[in-house]
Amino acid sequence: MCRNLTVLYLYDNQIKQICNLSFASNLTHLYLQNNSITQIENLSSLPKLSKLYLGGNCITVVEGLEKLELCELHIESQRLPLGEKLLFDPRTLHSLSTYLSVLNISNNAIDEITELSVLHNLTQFYAANNKLQDVKELELVFSKWTKLQKLDLSGNPVCHKPKYRDHLIMICKSLEVLDGKEINETFRQFLTNWKASKEAKRRNMDEQFIKQAA
């Protein structure tokens, strides 16, 4: 029965384990939010799954997705043990890098995202209400995400750093929305011109210093 099922809603139940889904080989969307799931497992029999919603569970490690071609993964607001953060299996990250375009990891006590830099096809990244605070680390990661269009880091300590928004607008050339606010192209051009002017002035000062030293 239900061999042609493509969308399955199982959210807001008391599900503790992902199982018994092998019959739904044509499934493309799976909604499992707000259950009591502790581990991502038993999904390899769903080769067409493209969107997976796991927000509001008890998952501590993003794993078990190596055989899928996910386009969207929503794993926000996990009920984590006190003092722990959401972790990522490197093998899963590597497999996700080919197709994943939307990732939501908001509210998971995450303090760094360097390992996520392999997800170079992301167009939307939601990481609000975490513990990110290093602007330089974010610049390094986002410089590799050349397709990024929507980014939400609201509620992180980094948002209070000087020129935070300016830095990210300059790094993320394709970004259209940052923390829920659209990016004005006129302002982006202003930042680009200002940076070019500042660099030219610094080069000029360096050249003058070298001449004086000579």
Structure tokens at 139: 């610049």
Domain with 67, as residue range(s), is: 7-185
Answer yes or no: do 14 and 90 share one domain: yes
Does 1 map to a domain? no
Residue 2 lies in a domain: no
- pTM strictly above 0.85: yes
Q: Averaged over 101-128, what is the pLDDT?
A: 97
Q: Tell me which amino acid residue 121 is.
A: N
Cα separation, 162 vs 169, whole angstroms? 13
* Residue 27 is assigned to a structural domain of this protein: yes
Whether residue 144 lies inside any domain: the answer is yes
Q: Which of 172, 181, 85 is nearest to 129 (CA)?
A: 85
Give 135-194 pLDDT, tens digit per residue: 999 999 999 999 999 999 999 999 999 888 888 888 888 889 999 988 887 767 766 666
Burial 63-74 (b: 16+ CB within 10 A, else e): bbbeebebbbbb
Residue-wise pLDDT for 179-205, tens only, equals 998 888 776 776 666 665 666 566 666
Residue-wise pLDDT for 68-78, tens only, equals 999 999 999 99
Is the domain of 53 the same as that of 11?
yes
The answer to whether 74 touches 46, Cβ cutoff 8 Å, is no
The domain spanning residue 96 has which CATH number? 3.80.10.10
Domain count, the chain: 2
Looking at residue 102, its amino acid is: V
